[in-house]
Amino acid sequence: MNLETKTGNIQDCLQNQAAFCTAACPFGLDVRDFIEKMQRGAFNAAYRLYLNTVGFPGIVSALCDQPCQGVCPRRVTDEAISLRRLEAAALNYARNTEPNNYNLPPKNKKVAIVGAGLSGLACALRLASRKYDVTVFEHSNRIGGHLWEKLPPEVFLPEFERQFMHETTTLRLETEVTSLADLPFDAIYVATGAGGNDFGLVSDPNGAFASTTPGVFIGGSLTVGNTSGSNMQALADGLNVVAAIERYLKVGSMNQPRETLSTKLTLDPARVERSEPVYPADGLAYTRDEAILEAKRCLRCSCDACVRFCDLMHYFKKYPKRIAEEVELTIHPGTLDGNGTIATRFISTCNQCGLCKEICPMDIDTGEFLLQNHRIMREKGAMPWAFHDFWLRDMEFTNGSAAQLARKPAGTVQSKYAFFPGCQLGASAPQYVTESYRWLLGQSPDTALMLQCCGAPAEWAGDEKIHAEVLAQLRENWLELGQPTLVFACPTCKQKFGRYLPEIPGVFLYDLMFAAGLAPAIAGDGETVSVFDPCASRDEPELQQNIRQMVDLAGFNRQPLPLEGKQAACCSWGGQVSTTNPRYAREVVSARITQNDLSYVAYCANCRDIFAVSQKPVYHILDLMFGLHGPNRVPPTLTERRNNRIRLKAQLLSEFWEGESPMEPEKSPIKLTIPPEVRQKLSDDTLLEPEIARVVEHCERSGRKIQHPESGNFSGHLQIGNLTYWAEYHPTEDGFVLVRAYSHRMSIDEAVSDRK
């Protein structure tokens, strides 16, 4: 396998795309940042950001024609954010509006600026603050150029005064420059305004503000013309040309193209809630409170669909690019101790539900990215075995002789269908499978049966070798049955077959039931329920619709859930993350079951049982169709789930293949009673009762046990596979009662410790 980190299309992530307003702003003002400061009343901080971006805040906040308003998503819902008023508020309420005084050594370069309009002065201000020797030539007797036509001089003249207060520049008024060749300067910026002298310069399209004459730059209204908004563009040019001039002064090149801001951001207008615009009560300017209120209307547009929808990204507050970086570091850890493997648990905490791709405007499939890298980690042996050990053993059990079965009905030559209930349906309640199979046989008497696991646990564990073995076995059994169409009860099984065994055709049991017009056995009597779509049904709209119709037919009312259909969310089972990150899994369950107080109808046995364990009333759709259980059925423990699979195979064999008797399960030589509360605790801790019985048996047979004098209990341990199990138990007349059991992942190195 290629051990390179697989990054997919995560580089397309829009997380850092500019907000619409920022992309439209001639200065590229970071509005998200500005607004964040304004929202918390940090006027001074907002002002500094604004000052550094626009050069002359007093002029821009008075004159800007606000192209941002034409792109603000609020303009459709209510009214665009009044950014200019907010900028004026920042200026009005800033503690300190003085410019920064930079203490830098003078630079030994002389720059001439032709034209003392807005663009020329902006350029002069920036260059002077960087301590270049700047001379501004102006043919008239005043500075400001076209500003005189747009603003009262008492607005802009003091602003020039203020911003230049710490800078030294030479201003040559009434000095007509007739030829650039005569100017003894290292670089020249020509900003003579609309209709001004262009000295016959030709713009060089290859460089920002470059002319074809070395060292001479042009910009401002001279190039953009005197149009609406040209003042602001001219000012922005004056600020932006500085980078081009400095590059020329340092390295002599003028071929760096101009940077233009754009954005690929998209925003669903439906997400914009109405919010009344704030107008200044005095008709002129915002008060502090008004400014904060208006700032709070701002959506601070950014692409955050993934962190809002995906449980994993939401819980860890991480965007795909950050995830990709951390995964890269984890797969290729550096040499310093502790700087790698930061994402090991994270990689294994993904539910693999597919919602991230569904809601991402760029179709970034972070889940698939994590799965691919999970496989790399597994291949490297860098993924802790404990994360998936139990579930791989559970799959092995399901596919082993105690529970596995692939049969055609006796005497059948060719089966059109084979029922594939999946490992969890019969584990939840064997009747789900027996009733369904009986019904299928009634429809199509040659229907075969496959009791087997689809391999999802191996996929989720990232174990390609085991996965391939499971898939090969499935394919072989399917071929032996004569290549029937599989009838799935579990959307995950169908999804996995579709991906890994696409040659095997499949349909849903529930679609067949609906098509056959099977009448539900339960009467809902107008009870309102919500259908919980399992995440694996995301791309099965027909199934989702049929389930809803079956629920309607049963006489229930339905209330939709916020996340359903294409946006179905995981119940927490996916990826079998509960061992890796139990707290996260609990959070996911809680988020899913608190969406409303109604009973759910699920059509995935795992969704049903996981929610039911947390006291949520949930019907399985088969409860409705066959009248099997109410919504409050207590789900079986992990041990009971295994026993149910054994029982299911036995029942099916005796009912449909008379004379066949299943293997008798091994009887333990000791009698261990497990009280109900201890049973549930074992299940919660992912412990199986037969394993604990083996510990007690080992202790009793070997005599290797500990005595607790106060309680009269015994304790002992046994390592089975990777895990070390402990049991504390009390002897009774004819056996033992289990008091507690627990396990740990680290192993006791008894051989070494005995040497002491």
Partner 1 sequence: MRLSVTENKVVICFQCQKELQPIKTYLSYLGHSFYAEIPKCPDCGEVYISEELVKSRIAEVEMQLEDK
Q: Which stretches of the chain bind partner 1, using CB under 8 A?
A: 338, 341-342, 344-345, 384-387, 703-710, 714-715, 717, 726, 728, 740, 742-750, 752-754, 756
Which CB, 489 or 723, lies closer to partner 1? 723
Sign, Cα dihedral of 465, 466, 472, 475: negative
Which CB, 285 or 329, lies closer to partner 1? 329
Task: Report the alpha-carbon distance of residue 260 to residue 94 in Å, rounded.
Answer: 30
Tell me the closest approach of the beta carbon of residue 694 to partner 1, in angstroms. Answer: 18
Tell me the closest approach of the beta carbon of residue 319 to partner 1, in angstroms. Answer: 21
- Identify the three-state secondary structure at position 113: strand
Which CB, 296 or 701, lies closer to partner 1? 701
Closest to 58 measured CA to CA, from 135, 130, 165? 165
Tell me the closest approach of the beta carbon of residue 395 to partner 1, in angstroms. Answer: 22
Which CB, 56 or 387, lies closer to partner 1? 387
Task: Report the alpha-carbon distance of residue 72 to residue 23 in Å, rounded.
Answer: 11
Tell me the closest approach of the beta carbon of residue 466 to partner 1, in angstroms. Answer: 20
Question: Which residues lie below 8 Å from residue 20, measured CB to CB, with a gap of 6+?
Answer: 68, 71, 72, 73, 263, 265, 267, 301
Which CB, 226 or 715, lies closer to partner 1? 715
Which CB, 302 or 722, lies closer to partner 1? 722
Looking up tokens 């099997």, which residue turns up? Answer: 628
- Identify the three-state secondary structure at position 638: helix
Which CB, 137 or 714, lies closer to partner 1? 714
Task: Report the alpha-carbon distance of residue 382 to residue 370 in Å, rounded.
Answer: 14
Tell me the closest approach of the beta carbon of residue 713 to partner 1, in angstroms. Answer: 10
Q: Do strands 713-720 and 706-708 pair parallel, antiparallel, or not at all (unpaired)?
A: antiparallel
Task: Report the alpha-carbon distance of residue 691 to residue 603 in Å, rounded.
Answer: 32
Distance, C-alpha 654 to centroid of its chain: 49
Tell me the closest approach of the beta carbon of residue 421 to partner 1, in angstroms. Answer: 34
Which CB, 255 or 747, lies closer to partner 1? 747
Alpha helices (runs of H) in 94-205, residue ranges in sequence order: 118-129, 147-150, 153-163
- CB contact at 8 A, 547 and 564: no
Which CB, 195 or 721, lies closer to partner 1? 721
* Residue 43 amino acid letter: F
Which CB, 42 or 678, lies closer to partner 1? 678
Tell me the closest approach of the beta carbon of residue 345 to partner 1, in angstroms. Answer: 6
Tell me the closest approach of the beta carbon of residue 693 to partner 1, in angstroms. Answer: 18
Tell me the closest approach of the beta carbon of residue 187 to partner 1, in angstroms. Answer: 55
Which CB, 285 or 382, lies closer to partner 1? 382
> What are φ and ψ of residue 173, in 5° steps?
-75, 160
Tell me the closest approach of the beta carbon of residue 625 to partner 1, in angstroms. Answer: 43
CA 583-588-591 angle, to 5 degrees, is 125
Please, which residues bridge with residue 114 across strands?
A: 137, 190
Which CB, 384 or 482, lies closer to partner 1? 384
Which CB, 31 or 695, lies closer to partner 1? 695
Which CB, 181 or 751, lies closer to partner 1? 751
Tell me the closest approach of the beta carbon of residue 754 to partner 1, in angstroms. Answer: 4
Q: Where are the beta strands (DSSP E) in 584-676?
A: 599-602, 618-620, 672-673
Tell me the closest approach of the beta carbon of residue 741 to partner 1, in angstroms. Answer: 8
Tell me the closest approach of the beta carbon of residue 500 to partner 1, in angstroms. Answer: 28
What's 558's DSSP letter? E
Tell me the closest approach of the beta carbon of residue 730 to partner 1, in angstroms. Answer: 14
- Identify the three-state secondary structure at position 504: coil
- CB contact at 8 A, 619 and 600: yes
- CB contact at 8 A, 430 and 398: no
Q: H or E stretch including 170?
A: strand 170-172
Please, which residues bridge with residue 730 across strands?
A: 737
Which CB, 387 or 603, lies closer to partner 1? 387
Which CB, 288 or 745, lies closer to partner 1? 745
Distance, C-alpha 527 to centroid of its chain: 35
Give the orientation angle of helix 509-516 with respect to helix 541-553, to 10 degrees.
50
Which CB, 365 or 728, lies closer to partner 1? 728
Tell me the closest approach of the beta carbon of residue 714 to partner 1, in angstroms. Answer: 7
Task: Report the alpha-carbon distance of residue 144 to residue 587 in Å, rounded.
Answer: 61
Which CB, 34 or 714, lies closer to partner 1? 714
* Residue 309 amino acid letter: F
- CB contact at 8 A, 69 and 277: no
Task: Report the alpha-carbon distance of residue 193 to residue 382 in Å, rounded.
Answer: 65
| Total Cβ atoms within 10 A of residue 571 | 26
Long-range CB contact pairs, 343-348, < 8 A, 24+? 344/377, 344/382, 344/383, 344/384, 345/387, 345/580, 345/581, 346/312, 346/316, 346/318, 346/370, 347/373, 347/374, 347/377, 347/383, 348/374, 348/383, 348/387, 348/388, 348/462, 348/575, 348/577, 348/580, 348/581
> What are φ and ψ of residue 487, in 5° steps?
-105, 110
Task: Report the alpha-carbon distance of residue 46 to residue 69 in Å, rounded.
Answer: 19
